[in-house]
Amino acid sequence: MSVFASLVARLADLLEPFFHTSAAAAAIVLFTACVRLAIHPLSRATARGQKARTKLAPQIAELRKKHGKNPERLHKAVLELHAKEKVSPLSGCLPSLFQLPAFFLMYHLFSSQQIGGEPNELLGHTLFASPLGDRWADALADGGVFGAQGLLYLVLFAVVAVVATFTYRRTKQQMAASPGLPVEGPDGMQLPGAGAMGAMAKVMPLMSFATLITVAVVPLAAALYVVTSTTWSAVERAWLYRDITAGKGAVATAA
């Protein structure tokens, strides 16, 4: 973790002439953007896989009619179809899995009082007077909801709510365009299609709003990572899936 701490500290030093006391916060946002840029090829591959699965929708619908009373046989037939068309049903999990180590590093970095036996100097950095190692509970204790720190969290919650609403609507559109197929959910996770698990499919898009809870309970530095990453995901998916039309299942050439 000391190597990771050095990386964040060096980025903060480079950005200090531009962001002054908020340089460490800017470094976290930049680091998050770099992580997302690094896994962008995986996101593009996921989009191609999603579009390929959308093209298989009519064949999967036929399989459901044929094997609807035999779930085991239906599952096997769908997997065989995916294998025949060289489409992976699990490809959408990869972007999320590759982000987890970076998030946990950020969480532990700003939750640790010491790094390598030395005081964690990064905890002294702030964003608009809010320490990057503090949580929402600390902000409420120091000024309340409308104090300086509380207002910063209100801004973060507002951003998350807007992104979550946008993601929710996009997910519902994808589910309508690709019934019975997995679609992209919050932050790159795959959600089951409406034909696969009806009740769960109605609930899972609401997972986008779970980010609000995450932002409230993790250190501010980790919250910045989450907000930046989910915002990137929403914009990225809107671009990569722009040619999937709700209700028509129209798919253009893969990205």
Residue 235's domain comprises 2-52+92-240
- Which residue carries 């530095």 as its tokens? 221
Q: Is residue 206 a part of any domain in this protein?
A: yes
**100 SS3 class:** helix
Q: Is residue 232 a part of any domain in this protein?
A: yes
Q: Is residue 249 a part of any domain in this protein?
A: no
This prediction has a pTM of 0.78
Indicate the number of domains in the chain: 1
Q: For residue 244, what are the contacts with CB-CB under 8 A and spacing of at least 6?
A: 50, 51, 54, 173, 174, 177, 178, 250, 251
Q: What's the Rg (C-alpha) of the chain? A: 21
Question: What is the tens place of the pLDDT at every residue in 90-109?
Answer: 555 667 777 888 889 899 99
Q: Is residue 68 a part of any domain in this protein?
A: no
Q: What would the two tokens of residue 158 be?
A: 């507002």
Q: Answer for the pair 240, 172: CB distance below 8 angstroms, yes or no.
A: no
Q: Is residue 78 a part of any domain in this protein?
A: no
Q: Is residue 252 a part of any domain in this protein?
A: no
Q: Is residue 83 a part of any domain in this protein?
A: no
Question: What is the tens place of the pLDDT at every residue in 121-176?
Answer: 888 899 988 999 999 999 999 888 999 899 999 999 999 999 988 888 877 776 66
Sequence-ordered alpha helix ranges (H) in 56-147: 57-67, 71-84, 94-109, 136-141
Q: Is residue 205 a part of any domain in this protein?
A: yes
